[in-house]
Chains A and B, each alone.
Chain A
Amino acid sequence: MAIVAQSSKFSTYGRPILAWGVGLLFFFPIFWMILTSFKTDADAVKPEHLIFFTPTLENYLNMTQNYDYWRFARNSVITAVSATVFTLFVSIPAAYAMAFNPTRRTKDVLMWMLSTKMLPAAAVLYPMIFLAKGIGLYDTHILVIAVLSLINLPIAIWMLFTYFKEIPKDIIEAGKMDGVNTWGEIKEILIPLAWGGIASTALLIFIFCWNEAYWTVRLTTVDAATLSKLIEGNRAPEGLFFGRLSAVSTAAVGPIVVLGWFCQKQLVQGLTFGAVK
């Protein structure tokens, strides 16, 4: 009885406290970044202005006036949205084929796809640069979209494969019996049934695309440069410009944090799909 009572107490008080503690711990760096973005560069490094300071919008004004924030933001939206759409367009049929029509080699194919994520990006940096310049795609949206799609495809296929595996094969086969073709099976049966999983995959891929920095910094200059490049450009080797760096970082992660906040239900639903059998 005592154990049950203790367990109940933990459920009532302990879990919420633990959850809030973990939540605050994860949120603290973001809170600190937002707080610092309203400090001048001088105040940002002064211990006496750690909490109490005169807030300023100077860093945000500087960011929009001197750094053309909206150009970077527009590029981020174009590349992240397009890459997510393209990734889903390829990964849904691929995961469908592997989940409902597996062959002897399906597992090997899945492992091979995952193994491409194990290659260090730096190993193919210069070949990628030469290739991009050779075909005239360096610093274009098409190149960034292609790269973002390719690096995220393995994860998307793996996630969707896991979700699709949870759907009874009989439902798909019943559709077949009714004369539905493959495209109809995907569109009319699979997508509505696995909508939660597809939405969470799309959201995660979008977040990965939005935050990707290694390639977007190195394969762009002006025309296709994303917010990652704006942040990178505000790192200074000589000088402490933490105020303006925080403002740029806040403005870069802001949209994705807001999106995540509004879609958290779908995100959690999708991520826990099939977790309890």
Chain B
Amino acid sequence: MSGDLKSLIALEKVSLSFSGRAILSEVSFSVSRGEIVTLIGPNGAGKSTVMRIALGLQEPDKGQVRRAPGISIGYMPQKIIIEDILPISTRDFLMLRPGVTLAHVEAVMDLVRISHVGQSPVQRVSGGEMQRVLMARALLGEPDLIVLDEPVQGVDIAGQEELYQLIGKIRREKNCGVLMISHDLHMVMAGTDKVICLNRHICCSGAPENIQDHPEYHALLKGQPKGIALYTHNHDHTHDSQGNVVSGHKSGQSHKSGQSHKSGCRHD
């Protein structure tokens, strides 16, 4: 991966431990232009930590993070609590992104359909609207890479479809890279190019159709109801290049793009 000019961001053998306890060991992956990478894993698997390291908010103990020089990153945090004592409208909240104009903010509000709450205090918008407000903030400033922390958590099914379609549309139009955490171990967005299954180390990674057959993935699901496997959020029938991922369920499929799995996994 080292010589890959297209990769916007690359983690190389990143390890981190807090007071002697390993949180992450030897995590390596990259996100390229136009690529959607989804992180899945159980609670406590270190998904958010990987994301914080990728964003430069946390320094790893070992390993490297390389970002393409001068890239602009749009970040959608998982949850954001703005105290009532700070009076700020949704529009002014979006205007906080450095270097944006009002016209730009209004165009993005239109894109994610939150123009009607532009004047409302940002504390008063509903949960689903807040997700879109945060997504709007991530889309401002023409980002090369969009990093989304559980973008559809707490959003109803219709809203999820809409947000995923929007992410797909932006990826196609702007050709940016997308790195996101899925809140659901069983579901990733249709159009995901690479799923990374994390449990303090990378258990397996590859295209969604390869992951769902991977023994390590099934080991993670142990104790979960039977009959549930990785389901690709299949919303968009016009895009057949992604639309056939769910039907492409073939057992015994080899690991085309996945990294080889290392032994010594702990699954607790």
A is bound by B: no
